[in-house]
């Protein structure tokens, strides 16, 4: 019987698990920024306004948990043996495979472990208006690192979506990609945000 992976099988240092939560304010955290850079990790964080009010926030969360945001971004998620949809949402502890690329490269599977998928606390204050899903890379992924998807209902009713990630190449193909791979990752962040805001 196959046992599901645990966080001990992640392909990046255990001390960095959850760090993607802070990437949107990395400029205020120089020690963390230096640590990631000296370890060879590239970082990104993109935030956009995607709506207004609880209904828009709920839709964005549903788009994430149902896998719809990833499908619309062109990077569908697979979970075995269960499909991912509104009746079978993603949850912490799930192992998923991100299908990246097109044509021949579509066959490349990039497995991840969902580390969290729910409301979050920040600085000890419970925020009922903020949701995040984080997954970390497992052996076989094209990259090594972590990606975070967040939906926040601001005090003025504005709904924002944030995609943050830190990663370094884990395979020859992504090492050879260099700046092109970084550009593609930034583009994917934009596509994920569009997927979160989809009607």
What are phi and psi for residue 67, nearest 5 degrees? 85, -5
Q: Is residue 166 within 8 Å of 33, Cβ to Cβ?
A: no
Element of type H or E holding 33: helix 30-38
Q: Walk me through the domains of the chain, giving residue ranges and CATH numbers.
A: 39-197 (3.30.530.20)
Look at residue 109 in the predicted model and tell me its pLDDT: 72
Note the residue count of the chain.
199
Q: Is residue 130 within 8 Å of 150, Cβ to Cβ?
A: yes
Look at residue 183 in the predicted model and tell me its pLDDT: 74
The two tokens of residue 123 are: 């600085």
- State CA 57 to chain mean position distance: 17
Look at residue 177 in the predicted model and tell me its pLDDT: 61
Per-residue confidence in pLDDT tens, the chain, 199 aa = 345 566 779 999 999 999 999 999 999 999 999 999 999 999 999 999 999 999 999 999 999 999 999 999 988 998 877 888 888 999 999 999 988 655 545 556 789 999 999 987 655 544 558 999 999 999 987 889 999 999 999 989 999 999 999 999 866 565 556 676 677 778 989 999 999 999 8
Q: CB atoms < 10 A from the CB of 50, how many?
A: 22
Look at residue 82 in the predicted model and tell me its pLDDT: 81
The pTM assigned to this predicted structure is 0.88
Alpha helices (H) along 67-133: 68-73
């Amino acid at each position: 019987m196959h046992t599901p992976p645990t966080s001990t099988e992640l392909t990046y240092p255990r001390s960095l698990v959850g760090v993607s939560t802070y990437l949107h304010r990395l400029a205020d955290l120089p020690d963390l920024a230096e640590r990631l850079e000296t370890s060879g990790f590239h970082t990104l964080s993109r935030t956009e306004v995607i709506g207004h009010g609880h209904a828009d926030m709920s839709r964005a969360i549903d788009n994430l948990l149902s896998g719809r945001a990833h499908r619309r971004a062109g990077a569908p998620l697979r979970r075995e043996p269960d499909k991912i949809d509104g009746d079978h949402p993603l949850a912490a502890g799930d192992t998923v495979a991100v299908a990246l690329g097109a044509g021949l490269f579509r066959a490349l599977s990039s497995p991840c472990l969902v580390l969290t998928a729910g409301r979050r606390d920040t600085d000890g204050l419970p925020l009922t208006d903020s949701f995040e899903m984080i997954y970390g890379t497992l052996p076989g992924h094209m990259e090594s690192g972590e990606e975070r998807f967040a939906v926040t209902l601001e005090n003025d009713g504005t709904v924002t979506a944030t995609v943050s990630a830190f990663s370094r190449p884990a395979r020859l193909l992504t090492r050879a990609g260099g700046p092109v791979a970084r550009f593609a990752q930034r583009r994917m962040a934009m596509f994920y945000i569009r997927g979160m805001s989809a009607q």
